[in-house]
Structure 1
């Protein structure tokens, strides 16, 4: 089979399209013929080996997982004798980040817990855009943020992969949503249901006087003090991405600031979860959530896709058609 292989850490140029053996499944695995995949921040960490601490999970000197790619959609080709949930011909999508990665390939072998049946209403490309970004947004809002109907929720970085899902999920929970994005993305934010949109290029967020019950930061950078000031007296701030400084402040200062008063400041780390993916599937099937796709690339164009993704201006998700 053809696959994108990375034998060392570095820029997208280290990625090579190679012919390698098709994986063989064991009794508890599913062989999936991959139709599409997508890019996430975790893919960049796996590619570059940065931040350095990530290497303790991904391989200290070289990548432990030579085929990148976490999100997947495709068709079940074969199943092991112990597999209960799927059979050949099933259309599936899933998250391989806890199962060895490897979706940038024509085939992949995975445990059934990593997969869910694909919503019939989505194309393979749309389905591949969902897992990591959608589950991150869900876990940040529902589990960490404890979102409630009627709350005022602000999504900072609302036009990227996680952000576009977060706006829609927050609306599905009954929140009043304010999206923060650049001028070119205002129309996208409105089209996915944002009640209010702040153009950070025209309006200085640090000077605004509105207060929010829940703030989710998924891109950009604002000092944690700015986010804290924008919260209601018992509001919650959750960091799910952004600049290195924003991540450091949320993880290092967030717990300390949470001890002072009733405001909660923290971060969320995505964790693949089949039940959460099923929950997202149900939101998709009821029309409450729909993936937003920016650009598509072929498997042979994965290095180019990484270069585009790392520019940080994607409107929604970047997908790979396999």
Structure 2
């Protein structure tokens, strides 16, 4: 049996207890399937990886150990199922389904519908940092159908925030972009995303003293507190202001689709109440939605095209080798990182 090195969750607990680098069976491809076997070159860390390892999402599903780790990846097609459109040697990037994680490994098996051809202008490391955060930002901004004068995207050096700031102007046509970062990251953000119009140091200044109430068309909530941002949005319903949260409670159907689970009666009702209670505080003229990314070939391809045109580039704070995967996760979880942390596998 062919084997490979992979980062796995061996049990739930603190990262140093839960994560281990080990040898596992290499995935095998059914050539009649719509799957693709990818030789992984790089994989990016997402916050949900650590939450799953720590057991924070055990209420949704029961993990079978050892469990794969990671969603984002870039690499080279090793083998492909018939009719997938991919051939050995193709360079690809994408996001593994939440129900079949395992990008932190030498090989990954995933549906062709979760992949697209890698941006040729970017390295494997850079490409791996795009899928989840890029698709999240893209789909959040796609939900806005109103006026496009100002987009307010707090946390501009976060993975999603850094993507959204670029996409808002370069693809969705917003005239101005506002963001917030801590004191230590102000200069860094201005260097990495120079066309942001207003950068507020929230450690020194209350954003509401800089960004006028009622003067924003779109807000992306990165904290799960959408009601905090509602005051910044326009009060005229005709201008269709939008508030999209990527952290707030989700509708049960979205949770089931994202994680590939079936929720029981009690949990479904609990999530329904939580989502309703969050939304009830948002003024009615605001189009509010809490969302989870749903990666698609179409959206990944659009992101690759924007990258190839020089209109989108991931922000990466540090790259680690696979042998230092635990250190990479600890760094990503330390609060010292920005943008994405990537693990180079080949």
- TM-score bucket of the superposed structures, by smaller chain: 0.7 to 0.9
After superposition, the C-alpha distances for 1:286-313 in whole angstroms (9 at most, x for unaligned) are 1111111100111121111111111233
Q: Does 1:35 align with 2:41?
A: yes
Q: Which residue of 2 aligns with 1:184?
A: 184
1:309 to 1:238, Cα distance in 2 relative to 1, 3 A: same
Q: Which residue of 2 aligns with 1:68?
A: 69
Q: Which residue of 1 aligns with 2:233?
A: 231
Q: How many residues align?
A: 308
1:63 to 1:179, Cα distance in 2 relative to 1, 3 A: farther
Q: Runs of 5+ in structure 2 lacking a partner?
A: 250-270
**Larger CA deviation: 166-175 vs 229-238:** 229-238
Q: How far apart are 1:52 and its partner, in Å?
A: 4.4
Q: Which residue of 2 aligns with 1:22?
A: 26
Q: Does 1:88 align with 2:88?
A: yes
Of 313, 322, 331, the match for 1:299: 322
Q: Runs of 5+ in structure 1 lacking a partner?
A: none
Of 6, 9, 15, the match for 2:12: 9
Q: Does 1:213 align with 2:217?
A: yes
Of 163, 166, 172, the match for 2:164: 166
After superposition, the C-alpha distances for 1:61-103 in whole angstroms (9 at most, x for unaligned) are x3477111100100111123x2331100111111102461111
Please give the TM-score of this superposition, normalised by the length of structure 2: 0.82
- Distance across 1 between alignment mates of 2:302 and 2:273: 31
After superposition, the C-alpha distances for 1:211-270 in whole angstroms (9 at most, x for unaligned) are 211111224x7x544311111114222111389xxx999934343234x43123332212
Q: Which residue of 2 aligns with 1:253?
A: 277
CA contact (8 A) 1:257 1:265 kept: no
Please give the TM-score of this superposition, normalised by the length of structure 1: 0.88
Q: Which residue of 1 aligns with 2:197?
A: 195
CA contact (8 A) 1:30 1:83 kept: no
